[in-house]
Amino acid sequence: MRASVDIVKVWRQFDHHPMETLTKAWHISQGAPGRQRTVQMMEEHRRQFGTSGNCFDLALWLMHEFGKNGIESYPIGHHLHTPRAHVAVIAVGERGQTYFCDLGDQWIEPILIDASCEDFTQDELDGFVTGGRIKAELPAGRNEAKFTYIRPNGKISEQTFSLEPIEMNEFIAAANTSQSLLRYPLVEMRFTEHNEVRHWEFDRWNSFVSCSEGLIRESKLEMEETGEWARRIHQRTGMHTDVIIRALNTYVAVMPGAAVENGTD
């Protein structure tokens, strides 16, 4: 079920890229339009500020790198043009086999989703997602993939993706919608600790680690403590603290009843 060496080699270039919705808030706070950045701009922002991007950024960036390495790829997704939008990438192997690549949800590595391959299985598998196992299913007669996440505590969640390629014009239009939408700050980051790949997440002003032991919650900080949050996020991602603070203050400002921390720009 694991991808070929050439696909994994490109994937590994993003091992230290968090999925985050901070960069778009920081970009908007500087007067930039809420639109999808080019790969060149994303690369420059990463060199200067250690930033990465949301699922649209990472999908576009990953496809660009696949293209540079002669690997065919295309975007897929669900709930486009809504707050629930999410996109991933399909990479095509040398023999035409297809692999699901989801940097937005910080998968550990791509997974085979081609029922015509003898290696494809619908068993529960370790090593693809953090803090649990994954089961990939391809329902007969439907061009879609269903993923079931099985956590150590027995909790089960599901996600379904249409495998129909998104036209690039539509992808960019949906990306522009996403980049203009500020709901709440979110950061997800894979890291290795205690001989396993773990998942750190900052979501709705809480932070926690998902691992084989379950969910480990970190100490609580208030929403307005953007300076302290910035230090915590910087330690996990390497993003510049001034960028993080400006982004968090932008989110605080658009949330009802919240005051922006003064003197942090």
| Structural domain includes residue 196 | yes
pTM: 0.92
| Structural domain includes residue 217 | yes
Average pLDDT over residues 107-116: 94
| Structural domain includes residue 154 | no
| Structural domain includes residue 188 | yes
| Structural domain includes residue 93 | no
Torsion, Cα of 148, 150, 155, 158 (10° steps) = -10
| Structural domain includes residue 223 | yes
Average pLDDT over residues 28-45: 94
| Structural domain includes residue 206 | yes
Instruction: State which residues form the domain around 189.
Output: 183-254
Backbone angles phi, psi at 24, to 5 degrees: -65, -35
Q: E strand or H helix at 262, and its extent?
A: none
Average pLDDT over residues 163-176: 97
| Structural domain includes residue 239 | yes
The closest of 109, 72, 115 to 94, measured between CA atoms, is 72
* pLDDT tens digits, 88-103: 999 999 999 999 999 9
Count of the separate structural domains present in the chain: 1
